[in-house]
Structure 1
Amino acid sequence: MKILETKRLYLREFVLDDKLELSKVLSDPESMQYYTKPFHLEEVESWITWNLDNYKKYNHGLWAVILKDGEKFLGDCGITMQLIDKETVPEIGFHIIKDYCNQGYATEAADACKEYAFNVLKYPKVFSYTTLKNIPSQKVAEKIGMQIYKEFEKNGEKQIAQVIYNTNE
């Protein structure tokens, strides 16, 4: 099911058959360098299942990012509930297959998710967080208007949280 659409992309709910395509990013050591480790195929399937559960529980989660031109699977992007320094908040996250990085797809998808969070889900603010070393993801957050919110510890590593407030209210 399509959730949202941009000029070049659409985001749709995951299906378990997305496992092999999604593994191109989640199982790739270079793409997952800011995570504790790349995912095994079973962990990719669990990731999809977690998002299917999120759709039921929150009416959102990470969605498959599809390039309209050629129906190419690019990765994931969406809104999940995350714990940021003891507070559960809506967070925009994304993972784009490295062959498609640096073409604006993450920014385009994340910006569409931000608008969805504000206009459809009516969240007053949304966050993004990464390890301090993950400068590329921090730049995507900046491009969609996020500002530094705070630094905090998670999984034994310093993280940086960024936030943007809904000004449509």
Structure 2
Amino acid sequence: MKIIETERLYLRELTFDDIQDLSKVLTDPESMQYYPEPFSLEKVEKWIKWNMDNYKKYNHGLWAVILKDGEKFLGDCGITMQMIEDEKVPEIGFHIIKDYWNKGYATEAAMACKHYAFEVLNYPKIFSYTTIRNLPSQKVAEKMGMQTYKIFEKNGETQIAQVAINTQES
């Protein structure tokens, strides 16, 4: 079932059938360089289960990103609840298989998630955060119109949180 559709992509719920495809990004050392370490296959399975639980609890999570042309699995993107210091906030995250980097897919999927957060979920704000070293993800957030919200420490590393505010609120 398609949750979100864009010109080139659609996002759908992750399933356990996605383990091998999702592992192409989550177990890859280059793709996961801003995480403490690449995932094991077992951790990829737990990641999918966590997102399935998020779908039930919040009506959102990270979704599979599918390229319409050829039905290619590109990675995941979506909205999860994350702690930014002492605040639990909705956060857009994404992981795209490196063969598909620099084609605008992360920005396209993340922008669609931002609109979904505002128009469907009615969140007043949506966040993105990453390590201060992760310039590519920060650029995606900037393309979504996000501004720096705060700099903070997590897991012994400096993080940057960015935010977009829903200007359509009444």
Query: With structure 1 as the length reference, what TM-score do the two structures score?
Result: 0.99
Instruction: Give the CA deviation at 1:156.
Output: 1.2
> Which residue is equivalent to 1:13?
13
Partner of 1:140: 140
Cα distance in 2 for residues equivalent to 1:57 and 1:156: 30
Q: What is the identity, as a one-letter code, of the residue corresponding to 1:91?
A: E
Per the alignment, residue 35 of structure 1 pairs with 35
Alpha-carbon distance between aligned partners in 2 of 1:2 and 1:51, rounded to the nearest angstrom: 16
Q: CA deviation at 1:2?
A: 1.1
Q: Does 1:52 align with 2:72?
A: no
The letter of the residue matching 1:89 is V
What's 1:161 paired with? Answer: 161
1:99 aligns with 2:99: yes
Query: What amino acid is aligned across from residue 20 of structure 1 in structure 2?
Result: Q
CA distance in 2, matches of 1:142, 1:161: 11
How far apart are 1:81 and its partner, in Å?
A: 0.1
Query: Take 2:50 and 2:135, find their aligned partners in 1: how far apart are those partners?
Result: 26
Matched, 1:62 2:62: yes
Residues 1:71 and 2:71 aligned together: yes
* Partner Cα distance (1:154, 1:26) in 2: 20
SS at match of 1:43: helix
1:155 Cα deviation (Å)? 1.0
What is the letter of the counterpart of residue 8 of structure 2? R
CA RMSD of aligned residues (A): 0.4
CA distance in 2, matches of 1:25, 1:86: 29
CA distance in 2, matches of 1:120, 1:61: 14
1:124 is aligned with what amino acid?
P
SS at match of 1:102: coil
Structure 1 runs of 4+ aligned residues shifted over 2 Å read none
User: Could you give the per-residue CA deviations for residues 67-122 of structure 1, whole angstroms, max 9, x where no partner exists?
Assistant: 00000000000000000011000000000000000000000000000000000000
Q: 1 CA distance for matches of 2:8 and 2:155?
A: 35
Q: Aligned equivalents of 1:164 and 1:39: distance in 2?
A: 29
Alignment gaps of 5+ in structure 2: none
Deviation at 1:5, TM superposition (A): 0.2
Alignment partners' CA distance in 1, 2:141 and 2:84 = 16
Percent of aligned pairs sharing the same letter = 78
Is 1:114 aligned with 2:114?
Answer: yes
| Number of matched pairs | 169
TM-score normalised per structure 2? 0.99
CA distance in 1, matches of 2:130, 2:163: 12
- The offset of 1:18, in angstroms, is 0.1
